[in-house]
Structure 1
Amino acid sequence: MSVASKYNRIASIYELIDLPLELLFFRTWRKEALSGLNGKVLEVGVGTGRNLKYYPAGCSVTGIDRSTGMLEKALKKTKEMNNINLYLMDAEHLEFPDNSFDYVVTTFVLCTIPDPVKALKEMRRVLKSSGELIALEHVHSSYPFIARIEDLINPILFFLLGDHTTRHTVENIKEAGFTIKEAKKLAFKDVFRKIRAKP
């Protein structure tokens, strides 16, 4: 089953599944990461649209996702927002010209894209040279005990959500040609990170 199919299947209950982490951590991190943005923003993996309310009114936001079910949920949140446009699109094949965006945003997405480096190269392509990638992601821990737990739960989360808990996302971003400006540890030692990178 494809990742898009998995998310179509759970779209109606996704926000409930995610609620404990959303209330404890994610909403605070989203607000902090997105509140200072301006210009043209591409959000890759917009999902049910949880980030949308945190973008300043001055941003022109383009959101993409592979899941029609998740996009339908996000569209309902855009009714009062004139600065948001959403599209069904594959992150590995972005349908935008080079140098189109001031920011590219991913939040808990690089763990699910089948080829994250390919997608990140596309994100770098569509970013302006002065632009920035902002990513909130979970990564494989450098702490052996935590990494072992991630290894154990990885098959379960991949089966349910297409989610990889063992990805080395900071290294993947570098491999795609970005320069890391920040890789801030947020929670569970070094599992959750805020990453800022320049093309």
Structure 2
Amino acid sequence: MKAYMYDNLMNVLEKKKLRNERKILLENIRGKIIELGAGTGVNFEFYTDNEVIAVEPDEVLNAEAQKKIGSKNIKIISAFAEELPFEDNTFDTVLITLALCTIPNPEKALKEAERICKRGGQLLILEHIKNENRFLFSLQNILTPVWKKFAMGCHLNRDTLSFIKNNNFEQVSLKYFWGNNFVSGVFKNIK
């Protein structure tokens, strides 16, 4: 999938379910916010008056996101989630939506999220995940090599929840949807 086509191709999924899940999740944001893997800026409409740093390494996605800033207090920077140019304990909220599947090293990205998030701060996620059903997980494994080429490196079969639990994030809330293929969750940084 070409970056400039992302919004158009995801539009059906966004309208059907994801937009509402984003809206509900982002009701939890507070303080200084960093969004990792901001993509085309689909979350920007839900930000209010908070200061937001949006991190996205892809230049084409950055250009699309720039169009959605409007008058909001959002700054887009080009960086990789695994190597963030911020000091420890800088942010109150770390937001990651549909990005841990494409980040080359999600475990390292989550370590960085833990590092830059204040103690007691929060990690908010909206992600598709490894399905616990053996048949569906096998199907995810079969489809992932092709899907990665089509969908900008997306891994359908990542065990994202295990990556999060292996860091210092304690689950506050977790909601499964679309046949347990997606989750929306709030985690507290307990470092």
Where on the TM-score scale, by shorter chain, does this alignment land: which range? over 0.9
- SS in structure 2 at match of 1:134: strand
What residue is the counterpart of 2:160 in the other structure? 169
Residue 25 of structure 1 aligns to which amino acid in structure 2?
K
Task: Give 1:187 shift.
Answer: 1.5
Among candidates 26, 31, 43, match of residue 34 of structure 1: 26
RMSD: 1.2
Contact 1:158 1:164 in 2 (8 A): yes
Q: C-alpha distance in 2, partners of 1:182/1:193?
A: 10
* Identity among equivalent pairs (%): 34
Task: Give 1:148 shift.
Answer: 2.3
Gaps of 5+ in 1: 1-8
Alignment pair present for 1:80 and 2:71: yes
When structure 1 is superposed on structure 2, of 176-185 and 88-97 the one drifting more is 176-185
Alignment pair present for 1:150 and 2:133: no
Which string of whole-angstrom CA distances, capped at 9 and with x for unpartnered residues, describes residues 163-196 of structure 1?
A: 10111111001122322222321222x1100122
- SS in structure 2 at match of 1:146: helix
Residue 163 of structure 1 aligns to which amino acid in structure 2?
C
Count of equivalent residues:
188
Task: Give 1:197 shift.
Answer: 1.4
- SS in structure 2 at match of 1:162: coil
Residue 171 of structure 1 aligns to which amino acid in structure 2?
S
What residue is the counterpart of 2:124 in the other structure? 134
- SS in structure 2 at match of 1:147: helix
Gaps of 5+ in 2: none
- SS in structure 1 at match of 2:83: coil
TM-score of the superposed pair, with normalisation by structure 2: 0.94
Task: Give 1:157 shift.
Answer: 1.2
TM-score of the superposed pair, with normalisation by structure 1: 0.90
Alignment pair present for 1:98 and 2:88: yes
Contact 1:170 1:183 in 2 (8 A): no
Alignment pair present for 1:19 and 2:11: yes
- SS in structure 2 at match of 1:167: coil
Residue 46 of structure 1 aligns to which amino acid in structure 2?
A
Q: C-alpha distance in 2, partners of 1:103/1:167?
A: 23
Which string of whole-angstrom CA distances, capped at 9 and with x for unpartnered residues, describes residues 72-109 of structure 1?
A: 0001111322x111100110001011111110000000
When structure 1 is superposed on structure 2, of 140-149 and 87-96 the one drifting more is 140-149
Contact 1:118 1:176 in 2 (8 A): no
